[in-house]
Structure 1
Amino acid sequence: MTSSPSLITGTDFVTVPTKDLDASVAFYRDTLGLPCSVLMPDRGFAEFETGNLTLSVVMAERFPFGYHPNVNPIALHVEDVEQARAELSARGVEFTGETFDTGVCHMGLFADPDGNALMLHHRYAPRAG
């Protein structure tokens, strides 16, 4: 079997739909503290950097896919879920339930103002081979 280069070489961004761009910008930039790399309210979107993936927050009705909140969480890496959770709680973020421990990672579930699912995530055990 010959090996050929992969057609897909990475993930550039994930789309996060919103009905209120101003509220989303305030949440992702001010509450979560993510750097805003693009802000184009006239075109209905803003982009936020997480370190390895861009969150592209879009006024979904302006794009051909419509508005449907993401129900499966985007896992945002943190070094300490409890510390990050406490800080975000102080900023008004409401978490769903207690921090979940899978045996290899900790997860803290919450949502943005549009109901898009998000998660604080920290893997504390090595990946199984």
Structure 2
Amino acid sequence: MKVIEIAFTCYPVTDLRRARRFYEEVLGLKQSRFFGTEDAGFVEYDIGSGTLAIGNGAPEWKPSPGGGSAGLEVEDFDGAIKQLKASGCRFHLEPMETPVCHMAVVADPDGNSVTIHRRKAG
């Protein structure tokens, strides 16, 4: 098997309407596709060549703050952090700087970790 790209990252959510408010209003993502109903379905957001999806169609699939994390590259890291703090987002990891990037990890309404990221030039 040869894997050629990441097709999508998907988070389980418990309340699809509430999760959509976070991903669309707080993070500013635009819905690309929707499957199912407003109460039990999946929403896909195309971001560059990748896709981030949220859904609640499988009862055994549960949100987890200790699970994986999608890293969202932002244009203005400081501005994004200000916006997230103003919206009341809970931070799993406060903003930090590494030799190659700036990053922070916030929680979606179900506690899933979402990494906010900005690469350094070079």
**TM-score scaled by length of structure 2:** 0.83
Which of 63, 66, 72 is 2:68 aligned to? Answer: 72
Structure 2: runs of 5+ lacking an equivalent: none
Aligned to 2:11: 16
Q: Cα RMSD between the aligned structures?
A: 2.1
Which of 91, 102, 105 is 1:106 aligned to? Answer: 102
Which segments of structure 1 move beyond 4 Å, counting only runs of 4 or more?
A: none
Tell me, in whole angstroms, the C-alpha distance in 1 between the residues paired with 2:116 and 2:95: 9
* Larger gyration radius, structure 1 or structure 2: 1
CA contact (8 A) 2:63 2:110 kept: no
Aligned to 1:3: none
Does residue 85 (structure 1) correspond to residue 81 (structure 2)? The answer is yes
Deviation track 1:12-64 (CA, whole Å, cap 9, x = no partner) reads: 111110111111111111111001111234251111122232111110535xx
**TM-score scaled by length of structure 1:** 0.79
CA contact (8 A) 1:28 1:48 kept: no
Structure 1: runs of 5+ lacking an equivalent: 1-5
Number of equivalences: 119
